[in-house]
């Protein structure tokens, strides 16, 4: 796992660096998505999380979830197009889980991807993701993720 400026980036995930989101392909072919630790740190303490409803189709790079923090309200854009097949209902009661565990309990939605092979080709993993996020953080003068 890469750690850049205190933000973790697991090697086994696919990242859309521009939108600060991750995707994980599951054994059943579905794709779980969420915000990166970097995105959660930029947003600050998440106070609300509103995912699209199960059954809804979402185009690539369109909002799958709307999150709200004390200083920001905005979309979490999906790194893969598809149909929402599950949402993390636990985030309704505890949206700050996104800040404390963005890659585990803070996952947001599960999609049945429309064309994972094409969509995933535009995503980065491992060392390439770490390098891309490091460059982005430096360009944005990001101070770093706070320890939990």
- Are the C-beta atoms of 33 and 78 separated by less than 8 Å? yes
Q: What is the pLDDT of residue 147?
A: 60
Low-confidence ranges of the chain (pLDDT < 50): 148
* C-alpha distances in Å from residue 32, one per residue of 69, 108, 144: 22, 7, 25
Domain count, the chain: 1
Q: What is the pLDDT of residue 27?
A: 97
Give domain status of residue 141, yes or no: no
Domain hosting 112: range is 26-122
* C-alpha distances in Å from residue 37, one per residue of 8, 42, 59: 6, 9, 24
Give domain status of residue 139, yes or no: no
Q: What is the pLDDT of residue 71?
A: 83
Give domain status of residue 43, yes or no: yes
Give domain status of residue 50, yes or no: yes
Q: What is the pLDDT of residue 65?
A: 97
- Are the C-beta atoms of 59 and 37 separated by less than 8 Å? no
Give domain status of residue 30, yes or no: yes
Among residues 139, 66, 79, which one has the least CA distance to residue 114? 79
Give domain status of residue 8, yes or no: no
Q: What is the pLDDT of residue 121?
A: 96
CATH of the domain at 54: 2.40.50.100
């Amino acid at each position: 796992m890469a750690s850049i400026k205190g933000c973790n980036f697991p090697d086994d995930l696919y990242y859309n660096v521009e939108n600060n989101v991750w995707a994980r392909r599951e054994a059943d072919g579905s794709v779980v998505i969420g915000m990166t630790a970097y995105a959660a740190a930029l947003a600050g303490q998440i106070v609300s999380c509103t995912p699209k409803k199960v059954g809804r189709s979402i185009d690539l790079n369109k909002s799958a979830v709307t999150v709200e923090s004390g200083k920001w309200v905005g979309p979490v854009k999906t790194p893969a197009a598809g149909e929402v097949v599950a949402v993390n209902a636990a985030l309704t009661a505890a949206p700050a889980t996104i800040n404390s565990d963005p890659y585990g309990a803070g996952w947001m939605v599960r999609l049945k991807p429309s064309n994972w092979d094409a969509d995933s080709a535009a995503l980065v993993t491992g060392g390439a993701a770490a390098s891309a996020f490091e460059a982005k953080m430096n360009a944005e003068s990001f101070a770093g993720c706070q320890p939990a």
